[in-house]
């Protein structure tokens, strides 16, 4: 039977973050009023005693685990140890103590970085273990991949109802635009807007622009997560994506056009490209729980730029 989220207390780790705020909105649109969002200042999810206290105090029926230490290529290269440890220990503790607390459903949200570096395109879930992830983000990707191992092991031994989702690269309003830790779309949007306003003649981007990526609008991803929480009950991992592939070069040119930046784009080939291609097979999500991305890429990109411009104006 589907899980009625309106009748259960739902705990969303990372619920105050970029994806999390959209998931909380999607839950509330379903009638879920008992939604708990633990904040890091009160609950450090890397501490076992704190995780025990969280379950004891909040007593959730459903857990959606989104909390993660994330960043772009630069942040991953600078912090491989902490990215591995923080993400791995949070997942292990949260799922173990959810099991002990008798949680009815645990939704583990992984990452596209878990896939092997040279996965055939489109990425299919059955290819997840066919090789080692792209080196620049492997520690993060493998830490999140362990959630799948844990979920399947707990289901096999304890009958614990955990599921595992693999969202592709996200974008949208409320994204992180900090150049030290942002992903590719907010990083390029920020570069273009600031260069436009400063009347600079060029921007410099990492790599050579040849890699491809798939992007999923954040509100669509939130809808997919909530649909899976309601309807999906199997041990197999599920991709969440749009099924549309775009090169970093084309992406950068599109963002430049949409932001009004008219200077030239230079490529710093001394910097890494990251994984050569990313594009998902998204048929399992549609077949299993009816998820299909709804937001056209250009529309989502325009909303993202508009949000950033408004926030920048408000900050000034």
Tell me the mean pLDDT in the region 301-316.
96
Any domain includes 272 = no
In-domain check, residue 224? yes
Going by pLDDT thresholds of 50, 70 and 90, the confidence category of residue 202 is very high
CB 15 within 8 A of CB 40: no
Assigned token pair, 296: 């056209």
For residue 183, is it within any domain? no
Task: Please count the CA atoms within 13 angstroms of the CA of 25 that sit on its side-chain side.
Answer: 13
Confidence of residue 179 (pLDDT cuts 50, 70, 90): confident
DSSP, residue by residue, 81-143: HHHHHHHHHHHHHHHHHHHHHT-SEEEEE--GGGSBTTPPSSB-GGGTTSSPBPGGGHHHHHH
Specify the pLDDT at position 38. Answer: 98
Q: Which of 140, 154, 217, 308 is catalytic?
A: 140
The pLDDT of residue 183: 87
Look at residue 75 in the predicted model and tell me its pLDDT. Answer: 82
Q: Is residue 83 a part of any domain in this protein?
A: yes
8 Å CB contact between 117 and 133: yes
User: Does residue 229 form part of some domain?
Assistant: yes
Is residue 45 pLDDT above 80, yes or no? Answer: yes
- Whether the pLDDT of residue 30 is over 80: the answer is yes
pLDDT at 222 over 90: yes
Q: Is the pLDDT of residue 289 over 80?
A: yes
Check if 140 is active-site: yes
Q: Could you tell me what percent of the chain has a pLDDT over 90?
A: 92
pTM tops 0.85: yes
Closest C-alpha among 178, 162, 149 to residue 71? 178
Per-residue pLDDT tens over the stretch 86-114: 999 999 999 999 999 999 999 999 999 99
Q: Count of domains in the chain?
A: 1
To which H or E segment does residue 164 belong?
A: strand 162-167
Considering the domain boundaries, does residue 105 fall inside one?
yes
In-domain check, residue 114: yes
For residue 116, what is the DSSP state? B
Which pLDDT band, with edges at 50, 70 and 90, does 180 fall under? confident
Enumerate residues 6+ apart whose C-beta is below 8 A from 254: 246, 298, 301
Identify the domain containing residue 11 by its residue range. 5-171+215-243+278-294
For the segment 163-167, the average pLDDT, to the nearest whole number, is 98
Give yes or no for residue 59 having a pLDDT over 80. Answer: yes
Structural domain contains residue 96:
yes
pLDDT at 111: 94
Q: Tell me, what's the pLDDT at 87?
A: 97
Q: Mean of the pLDDT values across residues 68-73? A: 82
Distance CA 152, CA 63 (A): 16
- Angstrom distance (rounded) from CA 97 to CA 46: 12
DSSP 8-24: S-EEEETTTSHHHHHHH
Q: What CATH code is carried by the domain that includes residue 77?
A: 3.40.50.720
**Do 83 and 76 contact (CB within 8 A), yes or no?**
yes
Candidates 285, 303, 284, 309; CA nearest to 218 is: 303
Query: In whole angstroms, how far apart are CA 101 and each of 46, 64, 182, 217, 235?
Result: 18, 15, 35, 34, 20
pLDDT at 72 over 80: no
Phi, psi of 215, deg, nearest 5: -125, 140
Assess contact for 265 and 202: CB atoms under 8 A: yes
């Amino acid at each position: 039977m589907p899980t009625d989220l309106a009748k259960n207390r739902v705990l969303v780790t990372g619920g105050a973050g970029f994806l999390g705020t959209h998931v909380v909105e999607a839950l509330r649109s379903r009638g879920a009023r008992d939604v708990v969002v633990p904040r890091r200042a009160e609950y450090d999810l890397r501490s076992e005693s704190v995780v025990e206290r969280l379950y004891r105090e909040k007593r959730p029926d459903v857990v959606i685990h989104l909390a993660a230490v994330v960043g772009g290529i630069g942040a991953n290269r600078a912090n491989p140890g902490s990215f591995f440890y923080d993400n791995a220990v949070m997942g292990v503790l949260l799922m173990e103590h959810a099991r002990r607390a008798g949680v009815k459903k645990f939704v583990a949200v992984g990452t596209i970085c878990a896939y092997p570096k040279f996965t055939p395109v489109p990425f299919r879930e059955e290819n997840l273990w066919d090789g080692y992830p792209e080196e620049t983000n492997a520690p993060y990707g493998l830490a999140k991949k362990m959630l799948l191992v844990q979920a399947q092991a707990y289901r096999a031994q304890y009958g614990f109802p955990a599921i595992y989702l693999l969202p592709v690269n996200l974008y949208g309003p409320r994204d992180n635009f900090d150049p030290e830790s942002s992903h590719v779309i907010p990083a390029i949007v920020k570069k273009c807007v600031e260069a436009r306003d400063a009347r600079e003649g060029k921007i410099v981007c990492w790599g050579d622009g040849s890699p491809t990526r798939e992007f999923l609008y954040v509100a669509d991803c939130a809808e997919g997560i909530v649909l899976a929480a309601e309807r999906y009950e199997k041990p197999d991992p599920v991709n969440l994506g749009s099924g549309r592939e775009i090169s970093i070069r084309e992406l950068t040119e599109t963002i430049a056009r949409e932001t009004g930046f008219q200077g030239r784009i230079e490529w710093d080939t001394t910097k890494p490209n990251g994984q050569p291609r990313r594009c998902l097979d998204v048929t399992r999500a549609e077949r299993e729980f009816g998820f299909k991305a709804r937001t056209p890429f250009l529309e989502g990109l325009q909303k993202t730029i508009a949000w950033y411009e408004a926030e920048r104006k408000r900050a000034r």
